[in-house]
Amino acid sequence: MGQLLNLKDPNTVEFASPCPHWKDPDAPIILEAIQLTFGKVLLFHGETQHDPMGVLSVLLASMCHHSSWMLGVSQKHPGHPFSKIPLLSSPLLQELVSEHLTLELNVHVPVITGIPPHVEQLRQLEELKKHCIKIKTAVNTFNDTIQDAVSKAIDEKVKESGGINAAILDARIRELEGNLLARLDQISMGSRGRCDPFVSVEVVEASQVPIVPKVNEFYYKGQYWCVPENFELPKDTKRLSGWRMWLCGQVVVSKNVSYKLKPFRLLKGKDLYKKSVERDFTTKWKPIFRLMEQCPMFEISQQVDESFVQSSFLQATEFLKSRAGYIWEKRDDRVLSTWSIGTWSRNIQRSMIEKYGTEADKAVLPVATARNQPDKEKRTFVLCGDARAGGRVRRPNKTPRRQAIEERRETVADAFGDVFRGVAPDA
């Protein structure tokens, strides 16, 4: 399994080389990294008859071995699921890669097991092939050496006498041909480098400590920012992973350089250039985590490590149960562990609690603000005309302007006649 996790081809000789493993698999830092990366697996399967600790140790070694490539993928595709792996944002990664990971056989991995027999046959065939090629090269070199020595002696004799033969002419033509081909190769390589549309994933060195960016670390779009231009929030983030980023931040890669961003709780909308990222941060991240921060026992410590993240998460979860307990009534923890933070933020909204919450949930709702209070007066309106099927309204035709003027003139004339009727003019 370790060979396959290392992406080795089982039909090649390299399949028999050692896979990534640990110098000491029982080192405390390795156990801590396993707990950080596979905590949910250990919660349900740890210390059972099928204890997965050995398999998880191999998986962790493979992840550390490929961490540089995974960071490169995160740089090429911001928001990739790799960005949600807590190990890539943890300071444990640098120490694991540089101090504890190895590809050499040791006491804990003395031999390579699980190698099919045909791989050993391939290895022996490869060695036999190398010996045959070496013998063939030596024989060809010996024959060429004799021929070159005789030809060189004849050509030198001809050159000394000022003559020319077919061998000398052929050598000059071949030299000219080689110069032309070399020049054509340079031209074609230059054009191919400019037109090649393929962009490979650039590997980012995972053993280097990420840089903590300043407020004005990144410059684009005419101003300074605290996050790189390609920054994206991880998609479909679960509550525990999001809580870890909310308290500790995240490692992102920009221009092949790793940066450790500040905790997401310190981010503001104006810090995010993309409107879609700002909208997701405001509607999906802030509602649930701002509510979790209201836990009475919650207080940010100076040293935010994994133990603090886990303990504060449990405290905040108990606080959520007291504010939106209806969520846990018909769902178990396995179902809720699959919810993304967007689902959590939607279900803790005041409107959802007023509609589906229990009486205890509604009793602890905060005082309604101007935005969520009902209207004091019921707003009504009257439609003019007769209503038709489909919701359309037939409005009366507008009176033509000329007809309105004539009606106004007739009204004035009638009023004038009523006032001055029976009055005779002076003789």
Give the largest CA-CA distance in the chain. Answer: 156
Domain positions in the chain are: 2-118, 218-363
The pLDDT assigned to 261 comes to 94
286-300 as b/e: b if 16+ CB within 10 A: bbbbebbbebeeeee
Q: Is 206 exposed, middle or buried (0-12, 13-18, 19+ CB in 10 A)?
A: buried
Q: Which of 151, 144, 186 is nearest to 171 (CA)?
A: 151
DSSP one-letter string for 200-267: PPPP--TTSPPB---TT-EEETTEEESS-TT--PPTT-BHHHHHHHHHH--EEEETTEEEEPPPGGG-
The pLDDT assigned to 137 comes to 81
pLDDT at 394 over 60: no
Residues 251-276 pLDDT 10s? 999 988 999 999 999 999 899 999 99
Of 56-65, 114-123, 240-249, 307-316, minimum mean pLDDT range:
114-123
pTM over 0.85: no
The pLDDT assigned to 400 comes to 62
Between 418 and 66, the higher pLDDT residue? 66
What average pLDDT does range 30-47 have in this prediction? 88
Residues 6+ apart with CB under 8 A from 319: 292, 294, 295, 296, 298
Residues 340-370 pLDDT 10s? 999 999 999 999 999 999 999 999 998 877 7
Segment (H or E) for 415:
helix 401-420
What average pLDDT does range 208-235 have in this prediction? 92
pLDDT at 319 over 70: yes
Averaged confidence pLDDT in the chain: 82
The pLDDT assigned to 130 comes to 87
Other Cβ atoms closer than 10 A to 45: 15
Side-chain-side CA neighbours of residue 266 (13 Å): 12
pLDDT at 188 over 90: no
- Cα–Cα distance between 106 and 110 in angstroms, integer? 5
The pLDDT assigned to 419 comes to 67
Residues 107-149 pLDDT 10s? 888 888 777 888 888 888 888 888 888 888 877 776 667 767 7
Other Cβ atoms closer than 10 A to 283: 12
Q: Is 363 exposed, middle or buried (0-12, 13-18, 19+ CB in 10 A)?
A: exposed
The pLDDT assigned to 232 comes to 93
- Cα–Cα distance between 416 and 420 in angstroms, integer? 6
Percent of residues, the chain, with pLDDT higher than 70: 80
Between 369 and 375, the higher pLDDT residue? 369
First vs last C-alpha separation in the chain:
129
Residue 8 structure tokens = 């080795």
Residue 258 structure tokens = 């790793």
Q: Report residue 411's pLDDT band, with 50, 70 and 90 as the boundaries.
A: confident
Q: CB of 324 within 8 A of CB of 353?
A: yes
The pLDDT assigned to 195 comes to 40
Highest mean predicted confidence (pLDDT) among 290-294, 370-374, 415-419: 290-294
